[in-house]
Amino acid sequence: MSGAPSEPSGVARWDFLKAYISDWHTVGAVAPTSRAVARKMASLGGVHYARNIAEFGPGTGAITHELLAALPADGRMWAFEVYGPFVEHLRKTVHDARFTLLERSAADLGEIRRAEVPTGFDAVISSIPFSLIGPEGTREVVRAVAQNLRPGGMFVALQYHPTFLRPYLLEEFEQVRRNPYLWNIPPTLLLTGRGVRRPT
């Protein structure tokens, strides 16, 4: 099982800032997410009752640790990360039998679902910077989530951009909610999507 979750250490904060300076377009934020926001994401995603979840963009693990703290003992979690130094960091720091780290894009969610989670994911928790990924990449990832959640499953996405993601969620989900989280620097928007739209 994972160790006690904590606020990101000075080392994690410094690694994060260096990563942003070297590849801001992929990393998308200057500092790791706070513990309070990460806990809110776990609760919005119903992670306490989940069996199979996915995380997009674990970075240095700020949200990952809170998800693992919430996930039941028989749950499983797959994390998709594309930035090599963060993958290395996670390999060294997350030791939990329930956790599988993939050096792959979030867009590959369907391949993992077909191989490992035939019933679909209970929740997908994302902090990837959709507004920097752009319209085409965003549509691809949001569609992959909608196609690979179980019925009633929940998508939770952290965004700093106030308006970019919502239209893409509305294309795929019946219920889309905005949960502003103002007690964070910078203020954060947590969007949720549930109830996949079926073609009419």
Ligand X SMILES: C[S@@+](CC[C@H](N)C(=O)[O-])C[C@H]1O[C@@H](n2cnc3c(N)ncnc32)[C@H](O)[C@@H]1O
Binding site for ligand X (CB under 6 A): 26-29, 32-33, 56-59, 62-63, 80-83, 86, 105-106, 127-129
By C-beta, is 62 or 174 nearer to ligand X?
62
Least distance (Å) between residue 73 CB and ligand X: 23
By C-beta, is 14 or 174 nearer to ligand X?
14
Q: CB–CB of 54/80 below 8 Å?
A: yes
Least distance (Å) between residue 161 CB and ligand X: 11
**Whole-angstrom Cα distance, residue 72 to residue 14?**
31
Least distance (Å) between residue 132 CB and ligand X: 8
By C-beta, is 80 or 155 nearer to ligand X?
80
Cβ density class 56-89: b for 16+ within 10 Å, e for less: bbbbbbbbbbbbbbbbeeebbbbbbbbbeebbeb
Least distance (Å) between residue 81 CB and ligand X: 5
Length of the chain: 200
Q: In the sheet that 173-181 helps form, which strands lie side by side, from edge to edge?
A: 99-102, 76-80, 52-56, 121-126, 149-159, 188-196, 173-181
By C-beta, is 1 or 30 nearer to ligand X?
30
By C-beta, is 131 or 195 nearer to ligand X?
131
Least distance (Å) between residue 33 CB and ligand X: 3
CA distances from 148 to 99, 123, 133 (A): 19, 10, 20
